[in-house]
Chain A
């Protein structure tokens, strides 16, 4: 899977002090071995540990999930990245998005089993993590400096989604 340009760009930012990466990449999997019939659950997704801010840039539903048995949606602050029955299309393609999560603004995912049978669910998201508010501000400055269409779009979204209390 190739990374979206703007995410790849963030991964090139280096710390002035050590030369190490400022932004770190990761993946996270969620598995529900048995979701009972006609049951829905809501999951809240936060950055792990003390991370300041995460950007989820893609996700997928595992092809082992039976198509058409789940209804679901994923959302953060003002956007729903998908909303509907999880058909085979969701298992064929990686879904690209820009979902911003922080401790004060978690994302939510709703998964509902719409069948009379227990069902297996598995999915994953891929993200980049920004450890501190100071690092977040360095990312903003970097994006201002690059100034192309993709980075300007991300910059606008990040400024709008900056956690409350950040400068």
Chain B
């Protein structure tokens, strides 16, 4: 079977807070064994360890 036979969907723009009136950082808290990132400096991803 040929690899990658599905057509790739366009990836969303990583720098994507379209409008953030507060201008402050947005904090995303992640737990578990996945690595979550955001390409935007205004989004802070915090890993919550047990």
Contacts and interface: CB of A to CB of B under 8 A. Distances in A.
Interface of A: 26-49, 51, 54, 75, 77-80, 108, 110, 112, 124-125, 127, 129, 156, 159-162, 164
Contacts of B8: 77-78
Q: Report the interface size class on chain B.
A: 35 or more
**Chain A at the B interface: SS class:** strand
Given A28-B31, A31-B28, A46 B37 contact: yes
Contacts, number: 121
Contacts of B6: 77-79, 160
Contacts of A54: 34
Given A41-B43, A43-B37, A45-B36, 20 more contacts: A26-B32, A28-B34, A29-B31, A36-B20, A36-B21, A36-B26, A38-B21, A39-B19, A40-B16, A40-B17, A41-B28, A43-B28, A44-B36, A45-B34, A46-B34, A47-B34, A48-B33, A54-B34, A125-B34, A129-B33
A38 B26 CA distance: 13
